Structure 1
Amino acid sequence: MTTDQQTPQGGVKHRYRHEGPQKHIVVFIFSIVLTLIAFAAVAAGGVNASFAVILLLVMAVLQVFVQMGYWMHLKDKGHMLPILFMIGGFFVAGTCIIMSLYWVWWD
């Protein structure tokens, strides 16, 4: 559904699309499913530990993209600067983690 905003002169100022709750419900269900998969992988005792860790990491990355894209609205126009700052933060944090691991295990 598109909605027009009227200017005082009667013209159309902006046109935007109203998103509605349908996408939010689908994304919420997807988030719950990701959480249940991660919980089931840990709760099931017969799962290989390395497979469970890899599965948890994949579920966590998917959850981050879902949360940032839909709940923080980073998929919308005009959010490039916050995205760039987050990418820079991930780069700095990743560099610190890699260097600290290198420092700890360096012989």
Structure 2
Amino acid sequence: MTVDHQQTDHDVIKHGHRHEGPYKHVVAFIFSIVLTLIAFAAVAAGGVNTTFTVIILLVMAVLQVLVQLGYWMHMKDKGHFIPILFLVGGFFVAFTCVVMALSWVWW
């Protein structure tokens, strides 16, 4: 008596990891390039208000970090809770150090 185990799409999704293919990586790469071009254009424009340029650069930097973490470092996938927890903790410690240094200098 033989039992044939045919693998269906449901089994692959339920029990294994389905390969995403290069499509999402290409989209993330193009999005990273577009963010870089926007930041470069904001600085190269020259006549733009300095405060506006700094805000644009900060927004583009945050978006770039999210794209890098999500797609290139695979933080969007399951099983990455501990690395994400340590990254959030590191950002909290760094933010606290910056706030303390600024208050120490200006107090």
Q: Which residue of 1 aligns with 2:74?
A: 73
Q: Per-residue displacement from partner, 1:21-43 (whole Å, max 9, x unpaired)? A: 00000000000000000000001
Question: How many residues align structurally?
Answer: 96
- What SS does structure 2 have at the residue aligned with 1:17? coil
Q: Per-residue displacement from partner, 1:36-93 (whole Å, max 9, x unpaired)? A: 0000000111110000000000000000000000000000000000000000000000
Q: Which runs of 5+ in 2 are unaligned?
A: 1-8
TM (norm. structure 2) is 0.86
| Aligned-pair identity (%) | 76
2:55 corresponds to 1:54: yes
The CA RMSD measured in Å over matched residues stands at 1.3
CA distance in 1, matches of 2:99, 2:35: 27
Please state which structure has a larger fraction of its residues in strand: 1
TM (norm. structure 1) is 0.86
- The runs of 4+ residues in structure 1 deviating greater than 6 Å are none
Q: Specify which structure has the bigger relative contact order, considering alpha-carbon pairs within 8 angstroms and separated by 6 or more residues.
A: 2
- What SS does structure 1 have at the residue aligned with 2:16? strand
Q: Which runs of 5+ in 1 are unaligned?
A: 6-13
